[in-house]
Structure 1
Amino acid sequence: MNKNFLRRVLSLSLVASISFIANAQQKPNWQNLDLKTDSVFGISTEKAYKELLKGKKSVPVIVAVLDGGVDLNHEDLKRVIWTNKKEIAGNGIDDDKNGYVDDVHGWNFLGGPKGSVEFEVLELTRLVRRDAARFANVTASTVAPKDKDAYDTFIKNRTELEKELGTAKSNLAGISGFKNALDAVVKKIGKENPTLDDFKNFKPQTPLDGRIKEAILDNLKGDDFKDFYESQIAEGYKYYYNQVNYNYNLDYDPRSIVGDDPNNSKERFYGNNDIKGPDALHGSHVSGIIAADRTNNIGIKGVADNVLIMGVRNTPNGDERDKDVANAIRYAADNGAKVINMSFGKAYSWDKAAVDEAVKYAVSKDVLLVHAAGNENQDIDVEKNFPTNKYLDGGVASSWITVGASGPLDGDQLKAPFSNYGKTSVDVFAPGVSIKSTVPDNNQYKEEDGTSMAAPVVSGLAALIRSYYPKLTAVQVKEIIMKSVVKVNHNVSNMKGADTVSIPFADLCVTGGIVNAYNALKLAATYK
């Protein structure tokens, strides 16, 4: 699913205190800066361009962004969007005979003749819906012995769904109450965008007004109220609203929009060519981190300077379907992508075998797959997280990198508090906190947090290496990235339940370090 949502633990009961975690203002482009010279734990990209790449030749590398959509007209992306030169735009003909009509800049596996899927249920919801039909007239005492394991799994999943839906409803009620009360206070202040002083000078008329004032004074600080309201209150409300009405809703099924058979994982040719879709914020942000135009002196700078972004829509606001993931990977591999960025994930899988087959196919085509570790602060050596590089048949994808998220400061807060980790399941960490990048419509930019932001830093690095050292294989590029990390030889803070514990950073991932472009390119130069 798109993990680009409110990752704060909001205690939104109006009796409780409200606690927001505001992003600290960071240096622009910090993910590309250098720890020694810039005092932020970036990946030394700018240093690499200045000292290692100046005057060197490169070749263009196609990076497929498997996501929710890409704004191909953004000022900082339009020059780096991939174009399928074998396809004639808008003629309604599959000119290159690849099975996808007018796929000029990529493909949308969430689309159909009349539009595109925006919201979806979670995989857990789909599994419960499927099994509720299967076990409609079955009880624990009447289930056939051969079906007992499946029935027990259904009961477990249904219980989990009911629990999560209940939590979502409670959170929605809490944030709705806070939002309504805050709206009333703002109306009493009489300004659409009140300042911190306006709240300080506000005279509460009720005890509730007083609690709202106190919460805002504690959290607004020097921020613009309108921005604060949109990012904290409105986004939180939208997130829980979507959970209740879409993600956990057994009666919601938008797949008829696509017009395929969602249960047939072998079906390949469906969708439309709208790579932007109804919500391209997440995918556009990811794309900018990888490849935002480094030559135009506006906006931001992507990691890679000679990349073409292929947009492949497979991720709705909800959980991606395994069928779409598999087809998106195959499409990218068949159409020339050498790096695939996958900033999505989920805790359940409908048809892992189909995804495994697609991953094996991409690996056979010398593609490097980069996957975000996830944002639940879980140890994914223990907790399930899909897709994964581990095949059902026991093998492991050789050209796959899983990425955790780090922050800008080299101290005990280096691990992003939300980032998943795993000593054997996560390969590397990369910057994923307060990352400014491109967002859709009107050439806008925004800071976002997540392993969704860390993965494209690594995808950009992989593309940079493949661009300047095109003879290297995907497996070699992975090896270079992992061998060239900056090792972190100290402990970091991590939440375990309600407690903060101190653990060695080396225990968070295979390499025990943060990726580094400068080191990686120096190492790449030694490969023959």
Structure 2
Amino acid sequence: MNKSRIFKTLLNITVVSALPFMASAQKVNWQNLDLKTDTTFGISTEKAYKELLKGKKSTKVIVAVNDGGVDAQHEDLKRVMWVNAKEVAGNGKDDDKNGYIDDIHGWNFLGGAKESINYETLELTRLVRRDQVRFASTTDANVAEKDKKDFEAFKKERADLEQQLGEAKANLSGITGFKNALDAVVKKIGKEVPTADDFAKFKPETPVEGRIQNAVAGALKDMTFTEFYNDQILEGLKYYTQQANYNLNVDYDPRGIVGDDPNNSKEKFYGNNDVAGPDALHGSHVSGIIGADRTNKLGIMGVADNVAIMGVRCTPNGDERDKDVANAIRYAVDNGAKVINMSFGKSYSWDKATVDEAVKYAVSKDVLLVHAAGNDNKDLEVENNFPNSKYLDGTVASSWITVGASGWKDDETLKASFSNFGKTQVDVFAPGVNINSTVPGSKYKEENGTSMASPVVAGLAALIRSYYPKLTAVEVKDIIMKSVVKINHNVSYKKGEGPDAQSVSVPFSDLCVSGGIVNAYNALKLAATYKK
């Protein structure tokens, strides 16, 4: 799953780096604002509704959110959730004969008879676990000629895993130490929620206390102590604990919960109907960006105003399995989705051929697939990110869009610092920084990531298909690509990692195929010119 957190090491203490601050008046809906009228680089959604769509009729479009789970009862989502009218809720029968019992709002391919998977390993971990059995007694001296390529790949993957696990354990130790030291400083200050002024007045007695004072003082310029402690320290602790104990642990395997054969990619009928699962934050956030109720005067407003959100759970807190990704795509297509959002990704693939076949199926059924580019600040021209639009045979999916993340300022910081990019591998950019959206319990939260940029584009695709239902998926992609706001200046990003990282400045056109930020107003004007 794409992660939206960004970490750095400061004075040997791991902390979470704050993203740029935005005025509160702009936060709630900035991705839908207009650069000229609002001085905020959104996609001009509100301008489109006001000037182009007022009084026009639309057709409901089903958008599948293939993700980690959706809170179907959220105040801003419950009216826009897809409802399977052919299924009788709670009767324990497969009324519509589609192979999935009581799939009212979608399906959960990570569920079993009693519970659902929450944490999972990375694909890298699973590949190492598989191949360390195969090559248990193999060395460079005795490896068979026919196995040399696979053995070399295994050694490289094992080294990658060992490095990541070592870093995760070191970061877990660092952030645990930071938290313990911070708790001690807060206790000395004598206030449960100290202010920036309290930290400024604090007299450190040890070097560690001095480093804590400096680190927190810098963080509190942009946020409250509660925000810093909960959203950054505790979230960072949770993140690295998850990495060390689950994601990168070859001894951890929760798949028995599902009860399927994880190595049988042809198996399709497994899971349960719990579309929320144990952690619906990510999928709910994505869903709100696409289509949160625009009529209820609550919370936020989604990009699209006439959609049905179908929850298809295929992404755990870890890497999704190719089998589940393929089945989630097929389920969405077979149950009427015309747009599928996929805010997930990974560096390794177990069975790309199976995913390719599902993507080809979706393309053949006139479905647009929208995928997040990833959050590692990597060039996808040279780095792998799965799934992707390129099939194993070298051909490319015609109705697939890969999305990078942008910020709200039209300057050198426009590319989100974390966003992957690629001159031929990423199609467009869209807002993905400090995006406020729906989270479980009828609450709202800001998140960052290409995971947030992708649903902006999925929402735009649904908006176009809703008001111009005769347009094909390929035509909708064409419209989105041609209607971007072109960026004619350079943007900066960090190249490399750690202390050796350097800031580079490149033309924005080097980052994606279209060379711009998606724009709803331009797209809808262009859509009106397509003859149907």
TM-score range, shorter chain: over 0.9
Alignment of 1:165-204 (within 5 A): 165-204=165-204
- Residue 228 of structure 1 is matched in structure 2 by 228
CA offsets per residue over residues 281-316 of structure 1, 9 Å max, x none?
A: 100000000001100111011000000000000000
Secondary structure of 2:86's aligned partner: coil
Shift of 1:63: 0.2
Which of 501, 509, 517 in structure 2 is aligned with 1:506?
509
CA offsets per residue over residues 90-136 of structure 1, 9 Å max, x none?
A: 00000000000000000000000010000000000000000001111
Instruction: Return closer, same or farther for 1:263/1:185 CA change in 2, 3 Å cut-off.
Output: same
- Residue 469 of structure 1 is matched in structure 2 by 468
| RMSD (Å), alpha carbons | 1.1
Secondary structure of 1:503's aligned partner: strand
Secondary structure of 1:369's aligned partner: strand
For residues 487 and 395 of structure 1, what CA distance do their matches in structure 2 show? 27
Is the 8 Å Cα contact of residues 348 and 386 (structure 2) preserved in structure 1? Answer: yes
Shift of 1:19: 7.1
Is the 8 Å Cα contact of residues 3 and 375 (structure 1) preserved in structure 2? Answer: yes
For residues 381 and 277 of structure 2, what CA distance do their matches in structure 1 show? 34
Worse-matched range after superposition: 44-53 or 187-196: 187-196
Is the 8 Å Cα contact of residues 196 and 222 (structure 1) preserved in structure 2? Answer: no
Superposed structure 1 runs of 4+ greater than 6 Å apart: none
Is the 8 Å Cα contact of residues 11 and 19 (structure 1) preserved in structure 2? Answer: no
For residues 103 and 495 of structure 2, what CA distance do their matches in structure 1 show? 46
2:453 partner letter = A
Alignment of 1:286-301 (within 5 A): 286-301=286-301
Alignment of 1:150-169 (within 5 A): 150-169=150-169
- Residue 312 of structure 1 is matched in structure 2 by 312
Is the 8 Å Cα contact of residues 16 and 236 (structure 2) preserved in structure 1? Answer: no
CA offsets per residue over residues 291-342 of structure 1, 9 Å max, x none?
A: 0110011101100000000000000000000000000000000000000000
Is the 8 Å Cα contact of residues 12 and 171 (structure 1) preserved in structure 2? Answer: no
- Residue 446 of structure 2 is matched in structure 1 by 447
Shift of 1:13: 1.7
Alignment of 1:352-501 (within 5 A): 352-441=352-441, 443-497=442-496, 498-501=501-504
Is the 8 Å Cα contact of residues 2 and 68 (structure 1) preserved in structure 2? Answer: no
Alignment of 1:345-356 (within 5 A): 345-356=345-356
1:21 aligns with 2:26: no
2:514 partner letter = T
Instruction: Return closer, same or farther for 1:277/1:254 CA change in 2, 3 Å cut-off.
Output: same
Is the 8 Å Cα contact of residues 70 and 284 (structure 1) preserved in structure 2? Answer: yes
Is the 8 Å Cα contact of residues 2 and 316 (structure 1) preserved in structure 2? Answer: no
Task: Name the % identity.
Answer: 74
For residues 34 and 386 of structure 1, what CA distance do their matches in structure 2 show? 32
For residues 222 and 453 of structure 2, what CA distance do their matches in structure 1 show? 28
- Residue 11 of structure 1 is matched in structure 2 by 10
Secondary structure of 2:9's aligned partner: coil
Worse-matched range after superposition: 46-55 or 22-31: 22-31
- Residue 244 of structure 2 is matched in structure 1 by 244
Instruction: Normalising by structure 2, report the TM-score.
Output: 0.97
**Runs of 5+ in structure 2 lacking a partner?**
none
Is the 8 Å Cα contact of residues 16 and 233 (structure 2) preserved in structure 1? Answer: no
Shift of 1:222: 5.3
For residues 127 and 186 of structure 1, what CA distance do their matches in structure 2 show? 44
For residues 159 and 325 of structure 1, what CA distance do their matches in structure 2 show? 27
For residues 211 and 473 of structure 1, what CA distance do their matches in structure 2 show? 57
Is the 8 Å Cα contact of residues 2 and 282 (structure 1) preserved in structure 2? Answer: no
For residues 222 and 61 of structure 2, what CA distance do their matches in structure 1 show? 42
For residues 147 and 284 of structure 2, what CA distance do their matches in structure 1 show? 44
Shift of 1:139: 1.2
**Runs of 5+ in structure 1 lacking a partner?**
none
- Residue 146 of structure 1 is matched in structure 2 by 146
Is the 8 Å Cα contact of residues 329 and 359 (structure 1) preserved in structure 2? Answer: yes
1:100 aligns with 2:97: no
1:220 partner letter = L
For residues 450 and 401 of structure 2, what CA distance do their matches in structure 1 show? 12
Instruction: Return closer, same or farther for 1:70/1:10 CA change in 2, 3 Å cut-off.
Output: farther
- Residue 523 of structure 1 is matched in structure 2 by 526
Is the 8 Å Cα contact of residues 219 and 228 (structure 2) preserved in structure 1? Answer: no
Shift of 1:423: 0.6
1:139 partner letter = T
For residues 323 and 368 of structure 1, what CA distance do their matches in structure 2 show? 20
- Residue 127 of structure 1 is matched in structure 2 by 127
2:465 partner letter = R
For residues 20 and 82 of structure 2, what CA distance do their matches in structure 1 show? 33
Secondary structure of 2:466's aligned partner: helix
1:501 partner letter = V
Instruction: Normalising by structure 1, report the TM-score.
Output: 0.98
For residues 460 and 19 of structure 1, what CA distance do their matches in structure 2 show? 30
Is the 8 Å Cα contact of residues 124 and 157 (structure 1) preserved in structure 2? Answer: yes
- Residue 40 of structure 2 is matched in structure 1 by 40
Shift of 1:86: 0.3
- Residue 89 of structure 2 is matched in structure 1 by 89
For residues 16 and 55 of structure 2, what CA distance do their matches in structure 1 show? 50
Is the 8 Å Cα contact of residues 428 and 514 (structure 1) preserved in structure 2? Answer: yes
Shift of 1:378: 0.6
1:509 partner letter = C
Shift of 1:187: 1.7
CA offsets per residue over residues 427-451 of structure 1, 9 Å max, x none?
A: 000000111001111x111111100
Worse-matched range after superposition: 208-217 or 307-316: 208-217
Is the 8 Å Cα contact of residues 109 and 324 (structure 1) preserved in structure 2? Answer: yes
1:500 partner letter = S
Shift of 1:12: 6.2
Is the 8 Å Cα contact of residues 466 and 472 (structure 1) preserved in structure 2? Answer: yes
Is the 8 Å Cα contact of residues 2 and 317 (structure 1) preserved in structure 2? Answer: no
